[in-house]
Homo-oligomer: A and B are copies of this chain.
């Protein structure tokens, strides 16, 4: 009996990545459905009746916490595990209260993830609370996946200081237009939907080598 899994993550790339990781252990996990719109999570859980639901923490429309609460009203049968970019105690507490079975971070290695999930399926509860703070975004994985170039990272570093596009251009001796182009490309790669999202990323990402 394989573990039937539903992945709820609006971020297609990560959703796919997670699916591939679980496929590596296809004798144990079976990804039944990848949900990209959190509002459809409940519907798919009802129709598929999975053993395990992996929910991303920050999503548009319905965030992870809302999804968890919704799923909890539907059934107690499936395990729910939150996968987050942040290991932040306040959020973890909220999810604990909402009754999830685990809170894992996107920074953990694939092997650790699958082994943690197996433990959770056996009834254990795992709340990743590593005080590894600044590595909120897993640098290696992150930059590899999204393929930010050197110049783009350089521009992000200057933006991180609170500078505007024009100030960045002056700092790096570039044309205003060039910096705008780079910003455009960064936004396309990282798919920010709001300015808030962009600045949240900027404030949390570790760009140092």
**Could you list which residues of chain A lie within 8 angstroms of chain B, going by C-beta atoms?**
60, 87-90, 129-136, 159-164, 193-197, 199-200, 202-204, 206, 208
Contact = CB atoms under 8 A, between A and B. Distances in A.
Contacts of A129: 133-134
Contacts of A204: 130, 203
B206 A195 contact: no
A129 to B, nearest CB: 4
Given A195-B195, A199-B196, A202-B196, A87 B162 contact: no
Interface residues of chain A: helix, strand, loop or mixed (majority): loop
Given A90-B206, A196-B202, A199-B199, 13 more contacts: A87-B133, A88-B134, A129-B134, A132-B133, A159-B196, A161-B196, A162-B194, A162-B195, A162-B196, A195-B195, A196-B199, A199-B203, A200-B203
A133 B135 contact: no
Contacts of A89: 131-135
14 contacts: A60-B162, A87-B134, A89-B131, A89-B135, A90-B134, A129-B134, A130-B133, A160-B196, A162-B195, A163-B194, A164-B194, A196-B202, A199-B200, A199-B202
B203 A196 contact: yes
A161 to B, nearest CB: 8
A90 B131 contact: no
